[in-house]
Structure 1
Amino acid sequence: MIPELEINGFAVVENVFTSAEVEQLIAIIGQANKEKDTFRHSEDLFAIRQFLKEVPTTIPLVFTDKLNACLQQLFGEGYFPVKSIYFDKPGASNWFVSYHQDLTISVNQKADVAGYGPWTVKQQQYAVRPPLDLLEKNFTIRIHLDDTDEHNGALRVVPGSHRKGIYRPETIDWNTEKEVTCNVGKGGIMIMRPLLLHASSRTTNNRQRRVIHIEFSNQQLPAPLLWSEALS
């Protein structure tokens, strides 16, 4: 799996969570207070930003022995979660995301630090583009709480694009690049590098797609910056 992840920028591992574990996560998320500023609710999407902080009772259910063993085997010691989002794409959703790379990180404040910029802020959350080598070391896992395929918003990716630095979607040469759809079963995970070009389509089969997205790093930020979502 390690060669696949490094060459392609992504890998899928099925059956990391049992059906009972998935249902328990869904039940706890369903009880969360949806009126907070970090919750976004529309006809096309329900999302919880800073998910692990907003719904902390999910932490022991997310970081099971099986998941921890998988991540340690792949990446070794020293990695910790630095950002988390829950996505719920309803069955009738027309929401889609065009091709992009994940180029920003969430931090505690805005500061003049060499190599960090430009900056954005949303819902009192600062985001900044860090140096490229930091992004190259980070990774993301996506825990799938539903069977997901090309008909209900599975990610479409460009294999190997994570090894090409900043890759503008408008410059993709489809004569040389190829697109792969990352189908993942309920309870499976997708692992990906932030620089991997990825997109998702509208839902066409009226099936829900729920995903817990968690980003990891093994690096500390230069003072005075701190990871805004690092768990204490």
Structure 2
Amino acid sequence: MPYLNEIDKEGFSIINNVFTENEIENIVSLIENKTANNQANTTFRKSEDLFAIRQFHKEVPETLDFIFNENLQNIIKSTFGEGFFIKKAIYFDKPEKSNWFVAYHQDLTISVDKKIEVNNFQNWTVKQNQFAVQPSAEILEDNFTIRIHIDKTTKDNGALKVINNSHSKGILRIENLDFKNNKETICEVDKGGIMIMKPLLFHASNKTTNNERRRVIHIEFSRQELPMGIEWSEKMEFSMS
């Protein structure tokens, strides 16, 4: 488990050279083909500062054979074990002149198929015609996210910045986080590299300043069964050879 200790301690790990240039080119080609023919799709979000495809694993499933290559499968199995499924996936394209930025936050909500009043499930909302809810901390703590970098990501084109080890403090209001006495890391990742992170890790991103594009595939994983017949609304199993 070469990355698990770092993820447990810091809340994240950066691993470069997970995808070859050819694999990245194939993924990009499939995305471009799909977006060229589906501009009116409601899961596609487009503005001057951001293009996003929600439910990416369902909208562009042809990419999954390239995404779950031998390297990524080995990383998932050796770090977390088996039994995980995709619970959410988003493709982000931050254009060269983007002024899009995201303030520090934890990823606290999950997408589910119905609203049922359950203990420790709170802050119900509806987003993109799906129910979203904040589940118990135990569910969030067992999940993990992998961010696949289609472009080289640096501090100048909106790389994530994180507060190291902030995932270990549970669900926390931002004003209760002690920024002065915690380390901040800017997570620069090479093209074809990945970042693994825990959802309770505080993370943010700045505006682009160097006119370089930043494209990322953000995939969230879980192995949790939800209570009271609630189901993950975007759940998809993936094959591990």
TM range (shorter): over 0.9
The Cα shift of 1:228 comes to 0.8
| Uncovered stretches (5+) of structure 1, i.e. residues with no partner | none
The Cα shift of 1:224 comes to 2.1
What is the distance in 2 between the residues matched to 1:2 and 1:123? 34
What is the distance in 2 between the residues matched to 1:156 and 1:80? 26
2:147 aligned residue: 142
The Cα shift of 1:35 comes to 1.5
What is the distance in 2 between the residues matched to 1:147 and 1:42? 22
1:109 aligned residue: 114
* Aligned residues between the structures: 232
What is the distance in 1 between the residues matched to 2:28 and 2:156? 21
Deviations 1:81-119 (A, max 9, x none): 110000000010000000000001111111122221111
1:196 to 178, 192, 201: 201
- Which structure 1 residue ranges, 4+ long, deviate > 2 Å from structure 2? 170-175
Deviations 1:152-207 (A, max 9, x none): 01000000000001122223323211210000000000000000000000000000
Q: Is the 8 A contact 1:161 1:167 kept in 2?
A: no
2:152 maps to amino acid: D
TM-score (ref. length: structure 1)? 0.98
1:166 aligned residue: 171
TM-score (ref. length: structure 2)? 0.94
* SS of alignment partner, residue 148 of structure 2: strand
1:206 aligned residue: 211
> Is 1:96 aligned to 2:98, yes or no?
no
Deviations 1:48-98 (A, max 9, x none): 111001111111111112111111000011111110000000010000000
What is the distance in 1 between the residues matched to 2:39 and 2:224? 32
Deviations 1:196-220 (A, max 9, x none): 0000000000000000000001111
Q: How does 1:22-61 map to 2 (within 5 A)?
A: 22-32=24-34, 33-61=38-66
Q: Among the aligned pairs, what percent are the same residue?
A: 55
What is the distance in 2 between the residues matched to 1:56 and 1:66? 19
Q: Is the 8 A contact 1:82 1:227 kept in 2?
A: yes
What is the distance in 2 between the residues matched to 1:4 and 1:142? 16
2:133 maps to amino acid: V
